[in-house]
Structure formats: structure tokens, C-alpha cells
Chains A and B, each alone.
Chain A
Amino acid sequence: MNSPVFAWLVPSVFGVLLAVAALRRTTQRAGDGPFDLGAGYLLGWLVLPLTLWFTGPGAHAAVTWAALSGAVVLLWLARRRFRAPRWAGLNWETALVTLLALAVLWKLVLMTGEVSLRPLYPWDAWAAWSVKAKAWYFSGEITRFAEPEAWFAAAPGSAYTNSAEHYPPSLPLMQLWMAKGAGVWDERYLGWPWPGAYVALTLVFWGALRRARVSLVQAGIATYIVAAAPLVTAHVALAGYADLWVAGWLTLGVAALAVDAPPRRIRWGWWLAAVVALPLLKLEGWIWSAILIGLALLRCVPLGARRDRVRAAIAAALALLLVVVAAAIWLLTMGNALPMGLKFELHAVGRPFLFAMFASSDWGMLWYLIVAGLILSLRAPLATAPRLALGFAVFATVSLGGLFGFTNAGEWAERQTALSRLLLQCGPALFLLVNLAVAAAGNARHRKGTAYTPPTLQEK
């Protein structure tokens, strides 16, 4: 069946049903529904298009029908798990959140209109990503993309080349999925998964906050701040880059770690899925996966007693020493050639960072509030949410600072061609943690009067 609508629906519905049915829960709490919808969408759009990598584009119809059959089974399994959302009744809180949701919805309409009318526009969308989808669509097979020398030496017609030949395949496979499903190469259909990714990010963010029992108003405003961030909306309207998907998966991974929603195996399941998914989306996904692993360790390490904290500090120092020694060995043995085609170079990137976060039109108030929330987190740095927020901030600062401050990628930061996109990848996840930390601090104050007690997220 050649239909772009059908092609879009299959991974979306399959993923959501998989999230709801296969990862079953014994109890339902506020936020579960939106969280499952968002996470399922991301999962569906990773898994199904990726199957084309193994089967080839010719198997698109077979994969579609297999997914539909699976969806029927999942629907039967999940039949008791769908519940209509509870309406809390009209009061000023629900009215405010509804208004904010309508504002986001209007933006979504505009962005979807952009995606559905405009052929691919931003540079890397066609130069780096869709070039593969287009080659695969017309050649009818997953033809290899090789470095220029290997391409020149290859048998005629057996390889393509471009400067992004080493990029992961997930994004072009999503576009290949849409083109094969539509039965025509029309650039207006290629971007359809992006508005869904925006909705998924928003739902995961909102769902995670509500699952953590953050108040309706705080969750609503925080979600609105992420959904209204101009660069986030630009990545939907000008679909074709991977950063929005990375932001969605990273937020999902962080939410899985930070929110104590039962049962535990599901939480860790989503965390693991994010760790695996991120490198499949973008090269720097490895960095975010490593940070998710680091955060998992940080979450599990007991820090209640002074002896635990001393041990953790020693372990952190040893880990840092290990990284420094590994970097020194690398530089001594491999010279100036770093992974991913980078070179060691010093760049002063403080000013570009400050401009991108606080002065350019990219972020609205997001980074102002992240900084404020991190400062607030310092009041109880060992409680779960503040610990994760501060840990994430440190890991991300070290990673991005290292990437842009010590390698030739610094040029991209100085020219502002990459910095804000990297901030897009981690901003929503960090803002989620900051909100959890602030909410936990507020709850603790509320319970104990004005005396502040480090909160725990183990509350049921």
C-alpha cells in the first residue's frame, strides 16, 4: 500500500503498542500514558526502519506487514492497559496547562505545515543524511558508502561516497522508510517523522515529570519551555537533522534513571534502550551513552555515610586519572589524530558558549532556568535528583568543553555551526533533571517547614 500516512503510522503505532504491551506495568500513575506514547514512538522509529538495514529496501512491504501483525498481537496483549486520561476538572491549574498545550499545538501545526511543503532545506539534511536514503531508494539496495579512496577503487556501482559516509544509518533509514512507504521519492514526505519526534520528546518530558509527582503547573510550564525553545522548533520545521532524536532518546534515558516509577526492570529497560540507541543516531551518541552509564553509576553509588562519600571521591579521582592517562597514552602513541577525524587544538570557547545559551535567539529562557536550578541543586547535592542533575551538568560540560575547547571542533563552536545543536541534544534532559531536583527540594521544604532536608525519590 503506497501511502505516506500509512508509512508514518506503522512505526508510530507499532512502537507505542510495544511500549504499552510488552513493557507491562502493574500499576498506573499520572504521566505513564504520555511517557509510553513518547517513548514508544521513539522506539518504533528506531527499530522498524533499522530492519531495512538488514533486509534491504525491497523488504519494506514485508516488514510493514510483519509489524502490523505484531501490532495486532501487541494490541491484544495491551487491551487492558489502555485507559482514558483522567480529567482533573477545570481549575486555574488545568486551565493554564491547557492554554500552554494549545500554544504548543499551534506551533506543531505550523511546523508540520513547513515539513509537509518544503523540500529538504538545511545543509546536512541533504548533504550528509538524505543523500544515503536517496541512493538506497533508487538503487533498491543498501549500497555501501565509502571513503573517497575506497570508493574510487571499488567495483563500478558497488559503492557511493560522501563526506558523511561514516555517519550512523538510522536517520537515512527513517527517510528510506517514508519514501518506500509512499512509493515515490518526494522530499515533502521525508520529514514526517520529525514532528512526531517533537511530540515524543514533549510527552516523555511531561510524562517523566508527572510520574515523579511534580505539580501540574511546574510540569506544564517546564514542558512548555522545552517545547517552545526556538531551536527545538527550528529542528522540526527544518527536518532532517539527528539532534532532535538524540534529545528525545537522551531525555528518555535520563528520565528512566531519575524517576522511580515501578517496576524497576522497565526503568532499566528504557535506560538500556537509550544507551544502545544514541550511537545509532549520531556519532557523538557514544558520548551521551557513556554519560548515561556514568549517571547510572552515580545513581547507584551509596553516598549516605561519610565513608561512602570518601570512597566515591577516591573512585572518581581514579576514574579521572585513568582518563587522563589514557588520553596521554593516545596522544603519545597516535599523535594528534583523535577519533572521529578530530585533531588536538586549543580554542577559547567560553564566549561562544555564553552567547549560544544566553544571548542568541535559540533557547528562550531554558538555560537561564537550568543554571538557576543547578544553583538550587547545590543545597542538597547528594539527594538523587540534584545528584543526577549536577552529575549530568559536570559530565556534559567536560564533554562539550573538551570537544570544543581542545579539538579542531572548536572552529564549529566559534562559527556557531554546531554548538547550539549539541546544547539541543542535552538541554531537555538536563532541564528535566533540574526540574526534578527543584520539585524534590520544594516538596521537602513543604513537608518539613522551612528547614530543608535532602529529598529522596524513593517515595511511593
Chain B
Amino acid sequence: MRHPGERAITPKFALGFAVAASLLVIAVMLVALAGRGSSPLTSPIVFSPSDLQTVLGVGALRDDAYVVDALSPRSEALVVRRGEVAGAGDASYLRYRLSGVPRNLEVFFAWRRADQGGALSFTRLPLVQDRDGLVALADHPEWGGSIVEVALYFVPAPQLSPRMPDPLAIKVAGWSLEPATFGSSLSAQLTRWFAFRPWSIMSISSLGYNKDGDVIEGVSLQLLLGGVLVVSMLLIALLFRGARGRRASLAGAVLFCVVLGDLAWTRNLQRVHDLTRATFADTSADERLRALPDGDLAVAIASVATRVDEPQTARVFVHAPTRYLSLRAVWHLLPLNAYERAPADHWIDDLRPDRDYVLVVDDAAAPTQPLSSALALAPVTEAGGVKLFRVVSGKRR
């Protein structure tokens, strides 16, 4: 029933208007976001795959692309293009096209400047595959001057499984340095929004931050869509004041923004799950242990823990360089009764000889002094950088 003074708009028109308004606002905001800047470089500098060589890992030129077939023993690869690149320092963007990069690797663009000795500078590349990605170099404080060497550096991503696929075929299909244009600026923004984002320890608390605790995006997709939603809602509210189809139109605008954001998130979730499947599907308990981000620690602790006598009543004090390692050690030691720190000073005299232990993890300095005039530490065993000591009477070690 229509009320006096009330206009009617059909649901089709309302939805169409909502989508059109949202698209218009998106276009305006993208233009505003992309900006343009300027750079002395006028045309792209394209690197030929035939100029590349691997310094870490094994690679070769194959089918017009440079392919890395194997990583170094530390799961790294460094693909270098040596020699001065005229005018490179004037470029504003790096365009790159990669494929076959395991999602638990991080990729960095590295360069060396003539005026900075041998120092290498790095910038992390958002991981996009099988399509062009762009990253702004001009924003980096160390980019510029005379560039004498450029490289792509592949390294295992911290906080992810170190397990790499076999066989490996990382393809560097192309890369170039580009001037600042509207298109490159827009592409760099889109690369940031739609690049792969793996889980990190921070993911459970906030998805807006990366594993280092840095904000991932300057202007996030969510902020853009939020802006679109607010402007569209205001437009609809003002233009269709008193009209019957206004609610449908508002619902359309809401749905449009929500679905767009959700598509991007679900796509990332799918890729995250692909990595999880590749890492953990059809694995034995032992393989799963090794595939943990701290798999080496887990295996080492499983080995030394068997040397603890009377495990039901023993206590283990963990000495590690970071709180993360300390807590992980406690977790892997369970059901052994472990404490995440070295014994407190006022506990020393009450430690129990032959029933209390100290576990030293990683590079944490192994204790060298007697604990007290009556107690000392005696080494029990060592595995994978983990050392187990037993509290003993006297100063024997």
C-alpha cells in the first residue's frame, strides 16, 4: 500500500541503482587512491631471463623463462642479474610475473647500489602468481642512485611449515622496472589487496597485520568498501527519501560491498587451505611433527625427553632465547612437568638433585657455573641444538 506523498521505485531499479552507485563510488575512489606521481624514467626497463643466474639454489633458462629447480640446503634461492642497469634508479615500480612459487616461501626483490658499497637492500613482494604483480619501489628509502645488481630472493616464510613441494619449479617469467603511471599505480594497489596472505601468529588477533606486526595495507580493501558503502547509503537515503524501494536499494548496496569483500577473503582462504592440504594431508604423525613451523625443535625435544628419569615426578626448567621458543619447548615436553623459565634465584637451593632438569634451547648460553655451593648441572644429552642438563649434587659437571 502506498502512502500519500510516497514514491515507489521497483526492486529492480533499486538494486540496479545500488550497484551502479557502488561501482561509481569505487571508480572515483580508485582514481583518487591510485594518484599518479612522476619519475624521470620514460619507458620500462625489461630484464631478459637469459641474463639471470642462480647464486643460491639451482636454476636454468627454459622456454623463455628462468626456472629454479632446487633450493639451497637452507631452502633459499637467489636469482641474480649482474651489471649496472642504466636509469634503473629512476624507476618507480617493479613489475614481476612468477609462477610455481610454494606458498610457504617469501619473495624479496633485492638490489645493490654503487654508492652504498656492498650493502644489499630488500623489499618484500606481495605473492601473486601467474599474473603480473607490481610493487612501488619509489616508496623505499634506499631505492635510487646507480643500481649495479638486482636479484630475486626466495626464503622460507617464518611461522609456516618449512616443508617444500617436490619437484620444485619456480618460474620467473618476466620482470621489469617501470615509470610511474596511473596504470602502474593502480596495479600496485590491486596487487597489495589481492596477494596471497598466509596465516601468521597474528592472524588470530588481527588480519590487518603481518607476521612482523606491521600493517599490511596502507589503504585496505575494507576501508575502500566501507567508504563505498557509506557514500552509497547516503546517496540512496538522500535521492530516494520517502520512496518505498529505498530499503531494497540499501540492502543491495550492503550486499554488494559485503559480497565483494567476502569474495576476496574466501579466495585467500581457499589458497591458504591449498597450502595446508599440501603440507599436512596424508601425512604420518612423525611427518606432521616435522612439518610444524618449529619441526626441528619438536623432533629434538622428542629425542631428549626420553632421557628424563622418573618422568612423573621430574621437573624441567626451560632456558630459551625467546618466549616463543620457551613456550614451544614446554608444549613439546608435555606431559613432562616443565616451567617456561630457568629456575628463579631463590629456588636454587631447593632444587632436587637428579630429579630436576634444565633444558637449553637454541643459542641460549649453556650454563657453565655451578648453580650453588651444593648443586651443579651435569649434561645428559643433546640433539638438534637442544641440550638437557640434570641438577646434581656437588660441583661435578
Interface residues of chain A, those whose CB is within 8 Å of chain B, are 92, 103, 106-107, 110-111, 113-114, 117-119, 121-127, 131, 134-135, 137-139, 148, 151-152, 156-157, 160-163, 186, 188, 217-218, 221, 224-225, 228, 230-231, 233-235, 237-238, 241, 355-356, 358-365, 368-369, 372, 415-421, 442, 449-450
Q: How far is the CA of A360 from the CA of B261 in the complex (A)?
A: 12
Q: How far is the CA of A422 from the CA of B34 in the complex (A)?
A: 34
B222 contact from A113, A225, A364, Cβ within 8 A = A364
Q: A228-B262, A238-B199, A362-B208 are in contact. Are A449 and B254 (CB under 8 A)?
A: no
CB of B266 within 8 A of CB of A224, answer no
Interface centre among A125, A188, A230, A450 (most CB of B within 10 A): A230
Q: Which residue of A is nearest B203, CB measured?
A: A234
CB of B340 within 8 A of CB of A119, answer no
Interface centre among A114, A152, A217, A372 (most CB of B within 10 A): A152
How many pairs of residues, A versus B, come closer than 8 Å at their CB atoms?
Answer: 190
- Given A114-B276, A361-B220, A416-B202, 11 more A-B residue pairs with CB atoms under 8 Å apart are A110-B266, A127-B331, A131-B331, A138-B335, A139-B335, A148-B339, A162-B340, A235-B204, A361-B207, A365-B258, A450-B3
Q: How far is the CA of A378 from the CA of B287 in the complex (A)?
A: 58
CB of B205 within 8 A of CB of A421, answer yes
Q: How far is the CA of A127 from the CA of B330 in the complex (A)?
A: 8
Q: A135-B335, A157-B312, A163-B340 are in contact. Are A355 and B208 (CB under 8 A)?
A: yes
Q: Which residue of B is nearest A153, CB measured?
A: B350
B307 within 8 Å of A (CB atoms) = no
B209 within 8 Å of A (CB atoms) = yes
Q: A119-B288, A234-B203 are in contact. Are A110 and B270 (CB under 8 A)?
A: yes
What is the distance, in angstroms, from B314's C-beta to the closest C-beta of chain A?
Answer: 8
B276 contact from A118, A163, A186, A421, Cβ within 8 A = A118
Q: How far is the CA of A385 from the CA of B394 in the complex (A)?
A: 73
Residues of chain A within 8 A (CB-CB) of B328 are 126
CB of B230 within 8 A of CB of A117, answer no
CB of A368 within 8 A of CB of B226, answer yes
CB of A135 within 8 A of CB of B334, answer yes
CB of B337 within 8 A of CB of A160, answer yes
**DSSP majority for the B interface?**
helix
Q: A110-B269, A358-B226, A360-B222 are in contact. Are A152 and B208 (CB under 8 A)?
A: no
Q: A233-B265, A364-B261, A442-B247 are in contact. Are A415 and B213 (CB under 8 A)?
A: yes
Q: How far is the CA of A356 from the CA of B225 in the complex (A)?
A: 15
A123 contact from B201, B254, B261, Cβ within 8 A = B201
CB of A419 within 8 A of CB of B206, answer yes
Q: A119-B292, A160-B337, A163-B340 are in contact. Are A114 and B272 (CB under 8 A)?
A: yes
23 pairs, A vs B, C-beta closer than 8 Å: A110-B269, A110-B273, A113-B277, A117-B280, A119-B280, A121-B199, A122-B204, A123-B201, A139-B335, A148-B344, A162-B340, A163-B340, A228-B265, A228-B266, A231-B207, A238-B203, A360-B207, A360-B220, A365-B258, A368-B229, A416-B202, A419-B205, A420-B205
CB of A156 within 8 A of CB of B355, answer yes
CB of A221 within 8 A of CB of B204, answer no
Residues of chain B within 8 A (CB-CB) of A156 are 312-315, 352, 355
CB of A131 within 8 A of CB of B330, answer yes
Q: Which residue of A is nearest B225, CB measured?
A: A365
What is the distance, in angstroms, from B177's C-beta to the closest C-beta of chain A?
Answer: 30
Q: How far is the CA of A376 from the CA of B308 in the complex (A)?
A: 65
CB of B334 within 8 A of CB of A118, answer no
What is the distance, in angstroms, from B11's C-beta to the closest C-beta of chain A?
Answer: 8
B233 within 8 Å of A (CB atoms) = yes
Interface residues of chain B, those whose CB is within 8 Å of chain A, are 3-6, 11, 199, 201-209, 213, 215-217, 220-223, 225-226, 229-230, 233, 242, 247, 251, 254-255, 257-259, 261-262, 265-266, 269-270, 272-273, 276-277, 279-281, 285, 288, 292, 312-315, 324, 327-328, 330-331, 334-335, 337, 339-341, 344, 347, 350, 352, 355
CB of B269 within 8 A of CB of A360, answer no
What is the distance, in angstroms, from B240's C-beta to the closest C-beta of chain A?
Answer: 13
Q: How far is the CA of A118 from the CA of B3 in the complex (A)?
A: 58
Interface centre among A110, A122, A225, A359 (most CB of B within 10 A): A359
CB of A420 within 8 A of CB of B206, answer yes
What is the distance, in angstroms, from B203's C-beta to the closest C-beta of chain A?
Answer: 5
Residues of chain B within 8 A (CB-CB) of A122 are 201, 203-204
Q: A103-B262, A365-B261 are in contact. Are A359 and B206 (CB under 8 A)?
A: no
Q: How far is the CA of A416 from the CA of B215 in the complex (A)?
A: 10
The 9 closest A-B pairs by CB, nearest first: A360-B208, A138-B335, A156-B313, A122-B204, A449-B3, A416-B206, A117-B280, A361-B207, A228-B262
CB of B266 within 8 A of CB of A106, answer yes
What is the distance, in angstroms, from B332's C-beta to the closest C-beta of chain A?
Answer: 10
CB of A118 within 8 A of CB of B339, answer no
B266 contact from A103, A359, A365, Cβ within 8 A = A103
Q: A134-B334, A360-B207, A364-B258 are in contact. Are A152 and B225 (CB under 8 A)?
A: no
Q: Which residue of A is nearest B334, CB measured?
A: A134
Residues of chain A within 8 A (CB-CB) of B340 are 162-163
What is the distance, in angstroms, from B107's C-beta to the closest C-beta of chain A?
Answer: 21
What is the distance, in angstroms, from B231's C-beta to the closest C-beta of chain A?
Answer: 11
Q: How far is the CA of A363 from the CA of B221 in the complex (A)?
A: 11
CB of B242 within 8 A of CB of A450, answer yes
What is the distance, in angstroms, from A427's C-beta to the closest C-beta of chain B?
Answer: 14
Residues of chain A within 8 A (CB-CB) of B11 are 92
Q: How far is the CA of A228 from the CA of B281 in the complex (A)?
A: 26
What is the distance, in angstroms, from A438's C-beta to the closest C-beta of chain B?
Answer: 9
B216 contact from A117, A157, A241, A361, Cβ within 8 A = A361
Q: A221-B251, A416-B209 are in contact. Are A365 and B257 (CB under 8 A)?
A: yes
What is the distance, in angstroms, from B154's C-beta to the closest C-beta of chain A?
Answer: 23
CB of A114 within 8 A of CB of B254, answer no
Residues of chain B within 8 A (CB-CB) of A420 are 205-206
CB of A225 within 8 A of CB of B335, answer no
Q: How far is the CA of A117 from the CA of B217 in the complex (A)?
A: 30
Q: Which residue of A is nearest B266, CB measured?
A: A107
Residues of chain B within 8 A (CB-CB) of A186 are 285
What is the distance, in angstroms, from A366's C-beta to the closest C-beta of chain B?
Answer: 9
Q: How far is the CA of A160 from the CA of B5 in the complex (A)?
A: 73
A117 contact from B4, B5, B277, B314, Cβ within 8 A = B277
Residues of chain A within 8 A (CB-CB) of B225 are 364-365
Q: How far is the CA of A221 from the CA of B262 in the complex (A)?
A: 13
Residues of chain B within 8 A (CB-CB) of A188 are 280, 288
Residues of chain B within 8 A (CB-CB) of A139 are 335
